[in-house]
Amino acid sequence: MMMRFVVLLVVAIWIEMSQGQQMIKQCKCSDIAPCQLTAVQSVLPCADQCQKYITSIGGNYDQISNCFKQKQSIINDAMKCAQDAFPNACAQGEPKMVPKRFGKGLQLAVMTDINKELQRMGIANQVTQLISQGRRFFKCFQSCMMKKLGSCSPDCGLDLPSDNVMVQTVKNCAQKSGIQTASVQDLCFCVEQAGIRQLSDVCPRIQIFKTK
């Protein structure tokens, strides 16, 4: 869940920075390539900058970071799959005009989907505090990423499907890349051992989403 939130959050930040008229010029792929590289390189530094929201609930940030690094290849595959799923988001040739999009809509779709998954697994109540803390972390993370991407051109937009379609696409990519029940439970237990004891009863109950 965290992986797809990060992937979609980076897209949402770009959308948020691209607000202008009702119709705006589509971004050229050559123009946003440096921004994509900056986004990838900024993820860990921004996470480090916001680590206080993890340590405040008892977690050892370095250990938790190592938990995710152990799954780095799976996460990278999922992120590449998600990026490749929208080949026409930017323009290879002459850009067209695309509708203005709002990043907050995508973030809402992500949170709605995560809440639905937690309810399905019957663990929503147990992770209420963690969800609240996670929101503060991602708000901090988003602010950091927007500063890192501040030099990127804000006067163009991406040609993307609806928010719900984007969420479903990233879920499909996550599952295809190996983010399955066993691997996520393993990650969950690793994070629990790193100090997030609230997960002790949650990890065994995780059942990763089924995609069509």
pLDDT tens for the chain, 212 residues long, are: 555 555 556 666 655 555 544 788 898 888 888 877 787 788 889 989 999 888 888 889 999 999 988 988 888 888 889 888 999 999 999 999 998 777 677 778 887 888 888 888 988 888 776 777 677 888 898 889 888 877 665 678 889 898 889 889 988 988 888 888 999 999 999 999 999 988 999 999 999 865 54
Assigned domain for 49 exists: yes
Compute the distance between CA of residue 189 and CA of residue 69 in angstroms, rounded to an integer.
14
Assigned domain for 212 exists: no
In sequence order, what DSSP letters do the residues of the chain get, joined into one string? -HHHHHHHHHHHHHHHHT--SSEEEBPBHHHHHHHHHHHHHHHHHHHHHTTHHHHTTT--HHHHHHHHHTTHHHHHHHHHHHHHT-TTSSBSSS--EEE---HHHHHHHHHHHHHHHHHHHT-TTTTHHHHHHHHHHHHHHHHHHHHHTTTS--S-B-----HHHHHHHHHHHHHHTT--HHHHHHHHHHHHHTT-GGGTTTGGG--PPP--
Assigned domain for 210 exists: no
Domains identified in the chain, total number: 1
Assigned domain for 178 exists: yes
pTM of the model: 0.76
Assigned domain for 142 exists: yes
Assigned domain for 211 exists: no
Enclosing domain of residue 118: 2-205
